[in-house]
Amino acid sequence: MARPVWSGALSLGLVTVPVELYPAVADHTIHFHQFERGTSDRIRNRRVNERTGEEVTQDEIVKGYDLGGGDHVLVEPDELDEIAPERSRRIDIEQFVELDEIDPWFFDKTYWLKPAKEDFAKAYGLLLQAMDRSEKAGVAKFVLRGKEYLAAIRAGEDVMVLNTLHFVADLRKPKDVMGKLPDLPKPRPKELDMALALVDEMTAPWKPEEYRDEYSKRVEELIKAKEAGKEIAHEEEPEPSADVVDLFEALSRSVKNRKGGGGEEPKKKAAKKKAAKPALSELSKSDLDKLAREQGVKGRSKMTRAELEKALKAS
């Protein structure tokens, strides 16, 4: 079992619950050491004085802020420690917001938040259900490994989810990164209709388990093959087409290919899709909320699952 990366207390008004923070994402990146080609000699990074070429120990190193023109402001590690965020052991929820209002642009890392002791399960469960029913996220700040983070705390499946968020000052706007933005000509109506038709044909339920890290799998196969003294045959990349593509024609063919892929006529396919549509009683609360949003049901964010189902039947 994983160990918590942080422990402290979650605070909402006068309610305080001791909690532990666990990483919700594991890194499966395949890591390599570096060697000099033709030898078994490891390549290692060392801290070296660029003037003398001599190695320098960590306790002899200070930080320098570049002022430009070769000038630096030198700062001691102790000076940074003195102004570092207070090593707080509290996550204070300052306000609640609609989860949909937080642009995905802001999300960084994901953690699970669980009660540190069974004695506080009741208070934890109460906050969890309140977040689930309201469909809102609590906004808070806390300190992890000497750094202050902005966070959104929301209800997950039987456990709270904490997402660290980027501060606005950390985000870069497109024009700041790319300079001049591309001039986008207005699409012709029939091209837009065909593009929408293609999007509709390619729309399916979100099933994350169907997606795999194919590159890491190929790296693993390469390592196993080389360990066994074998070679892997690589597929050659197709030559780029030199043909000038008519956008409308390309979209039309794409839609036809999608529709014809299953061997069914569009009308039969649509009828089959409609017949396979699950009843409202079989849908989850999030699915019901999505339908309610599509049908413009008012007050849906405050409704229970039963109320959502009733409102959808009446609409």
Can you give the CATH number for the domain in which 110 is found? 2.40.290.10
**Does residue 253 sit within a domain?**
yes
Residue type, 174: P
Query: Among residues 90, 87, 94, which one has the least CA distance to residue 140?
Result: 94
pLDDT at 181: 87
Is 147 in the same domain as 165?
Answer: yes
9 touches 18 (CB < 8 A): yes
Is 163 in the same domain as 105?
Answer: yes
The pTM of this model reads 0.69
**Does residue 48 sit within a domain?**
no
Is 19 in the same domain as 110?
Answer: yes
pLDDT at 266: 46
Instruction: Give the distance, in angstroms, between the CA of residue 170 and the centroid of all CA atoms in the same chain.
Output: 16
Instruction: Give the distance, in angstroms, between the CA of residue 6 and the centroid of all CA atoms in the same chain.
Output: 21
Q: At residue 104, does pLDDT exceed 90?
A: yes
**Does residue 54 sit within a domain?**
no
Query: Whole-angstrom Cα distance, residue 223 to residue 36?
Result: 18
> What is the average pLDDT across 18-27?
93
**Does residue 47 sit within a domain?**
no
Query: Among residues 232, 235, 236, 210, which one has the least CA distance to residue 221?
Result: 232
> What is the average pLDDT across 109-129?
93
Q: At residue 178, does pLDDT exceed 50?
A: yes
**Does residue 215 sit within a domain?**
no
Helix axes 247-260, 189-202, angle to 10 degrees: 30
Distance set, CA 30 to CA 98, 216, 269 (Å)? 38, 7, 43
> What is the average pLDDT across 184-192?
88
**Does residue 16 sit within a domain?**
yes
Residue numbers of the domain that contains 291? 280-314
Is 294 in the same domain as 260?
Answer: no
pLDDT digits (tens, 9 = 90+) for 33-82: 999 999 999 999 999 999 999 999 999 999 999 999 999 999 998 888 78
Of 86-95, 114-123, 160-169, 299-308, which gets the smallest average pLDDT?
299-308
Number of domains in the chain: 3
- Average pLDDT, rounded, for the chain: 85
Is 198 in the same domain as 303?
Answer: no
**Does residue 151 sit within a domain?**
yes
